[in-house]
Each structure stands twice: as structure tokens, then as C-alpha cells.
Amino acid sequence: MSTNHERHMPQEMRASATSPLPNPLGGERRFYDWRGHRVAYVVHGHGDPVVFIHSIHAAAWNAEWRHTVPVLDEHTSYALDLLGFGASDRPPLRYTAQLYLQLIHDFLVDVVGEPALLVGSSLGATYAIAIAADHPRLVRGVVAIGPGGVSRLYNQGGMPFGAIQGTFRTPVVGAALFKALVSRPSIRFFLKDIYAFGLDRDAEQLYWLSANQPNARFAPAAFVGMQLNWDIRERIAQVECPLLIAWGTKASQTPYAEAAQVMRRVPLAELVPFEAGDLPHEEVPHAFNAVLKDFAHRTVAAV
């Protein structure tokens, strides 16, 4: 029996946890064949390319861009589902930050094919900055939302964290632990922490759907094991393209006070605070989208 919440949801979001994920971004979902795996992404709009890289947690996927991608008609938006998340394949690989950096690099070369504006959230922002530093010809600008890799999430885990990761990968105990982690109450608790002004009406369902897909535990296990962290404390200062740092002043996962540590390393970057939690693009999309559109226009004009 459906709940009252589900009956009031748009039809395209009433999927079961084991059915193909809905596409709340609009546009067209496509697949990139990478190393024998299908990597999902959504394409929307026409114009200079903007590539979106989602944050990383147990329920992460490109749905977090659902209030931004649909309004960027003057750009070609590419919203990735990183391998192991969302509508992408979820093979039982040993996921690492290096794997994702190579995936993003290859996607920019093989699919986008021209310098793009990268927009990333949390570790997605970390990866965007790393790509801009290491492959400047592929990137014309970066919008980094509460990036890790400077004040936190820069150390990769040792043996204790490897043991935790190994436990989550086991077929019985690990599967049971992950099922509890991504239950509706757990996801609701997590989202209430990262949303400063109340849980978005549809967010719980969207994240629950993604987190409860088959083999969903393998990539988050690497995050718990600290294998997805990446140190950009030195590399961020080597970014040559325009860099905008967006930050929610009420963020809990990456508190706004840590923005000062980032800005000390890139004093010429723009810092734009938003009255929001960790996902300003979700909580205050009108304000965030206005800043993004202006920055995107300026990075195109500067080329």
C-alpha cells in the first residue's frame, strides 16, 4: 500500500527501490561505456558545457542537481552519476579517488569534448578542483560547493578503516549493516542534518531509491574506508581557471568556518556564502542558480 507521501509525489518519482531510477532532472539520460561498465549521465540544454559532479555519501547521485540543471537551458549540462552510484553500474570494485578522477577525466575527453565548467559538491568539488589543477585544458572554470580535501577528507584510511570497508563489502553482515544504514529513518536522520531549514518534500524518497538499488553498498564502503578522500591542499593553489567557492553558512558536514582555510590557499577565488546547509543548490536554488549563471557567463566571456 502506498503512503500519503508517495500518493502526492510526481508519477516519475514513484519507483520501487529495485526498479530503474527516475530522472528528476529532465533532459535525457544516457550512458557512457567506461572500462566495461555503464556510467549514467543526464544531458540537458544547449550551449557551452557544464559538468555536474555530485557529493558522495551512502545515498548519493545526480538527483541533488534537480533544481539547477533544468534551468540552465543556455548551456549543455552533463550531470554524472559516478560509477557505483545512481543509475550507473555498481560493480563490486575497489573504489578509490583515483578511479573517479580518471573517470571524470575520460568523460570530459570522450563525451564533452571541449573545455567545461565543472560544478561539484563536497568530494565532488574536491575532484573538480583536482581535475582543473592537473588538466587545465579540459576546464574553463570551477564552482566548488563546500569542498573537501583541504580542511577535511584529505587523509586516506589505514588498516582500521580498511577493516570497516571490508565488513561492508561482505555478502551477509555487510549487506545487513548497509540495509540498516540506508533505511528510511536513517536517510531521514542524515538529510535533516544536512538541510538547515527542514527536509525537502521529495528528497527522502529520491535518496532512498538510489541507496536501495542492488549492489549499492560497494562505493559507499570505500567512502567509509576513507579511500575516496583526496588531498588538494597544495594542488588547489595551482588552479589557473576561475574558481568560485560556494558554502552554506549552516553546513554541518563541512562547516562554514572551514571556508577560511580554503580561501587562505586561493585568496583570488570568489567566496559566496548562502544561508543554507550543506546543499545550497537544493535549499536555496534560486539564489544559487543566479550565482552559477553569472559565473558561467563570465567564464565563457573570458575564453
85 contacts 52 by C-beta, under 8 angstroms: no
pLDDT (tens digit per residue) in 107-127: 999 999 999 999 999 999 999
pLDDT band at 156 (very low <50, low <70, confident <90, very high): confident
pLDDT (tens digit per residue) in 182-201: 789 888 888 889 999 988 77
Positive or negative CA dihedral for 242, 228, 254, 50? positive
Q: Is the pLDDT confidence value at 17 over 80? A: no
244 contacts 272 by C-beta, under 8 angstroms: yes
Residues 8-39, buried b or exposed e (16+ Cβ, 10 A)? Answer: ebeeebeeeeeeebbbbbebebeebebeebeb
HSE-up (13 A, CA, CB side) for residue 7: 4
pLDDT at position 18: 54
Q: Given the DSSP bridges, would you call strands 75-80 and 139-145 parallel, antiparallel or unpaired?
A: unpaired
Mean pLDDT of the chain: 88
Q: Enumerate residues 6+ apart whose C-beta is below 8 A from 303.
A: 115, 140
Positive or negative CA dihedral for 41, 44, 50, 55? negative
Q: What is the pTM of this model?
A: 0.90
Of 19-28, 244-253, 267-276, least confident by mean pLDDT is 19-28
Measure the CA–CA gap between 41 and 200, rounded to whole angstroms.
23
For the chain, give the percent of residues with pLDDT over 70. 85
pLDDT at position 6: 37
Following DSSP, what letter does each residue of 68-98 receive, concatenated? TGGG-TTEEEEEE--TTSTTS--------HH
129 contacts 117 by C-beta, under 8 angstroms: no
Q: Is the pLDDT confidence value at 167 over 70? A: no
Measure the CA–CA gap between 147 and 55, rounded to whole angstroms.
9
pLDDT at position 45: 97
Residues 258-269, buried b or exposed e (16+ Cβ, 10 A)? Answer: bbeebbeebeeb
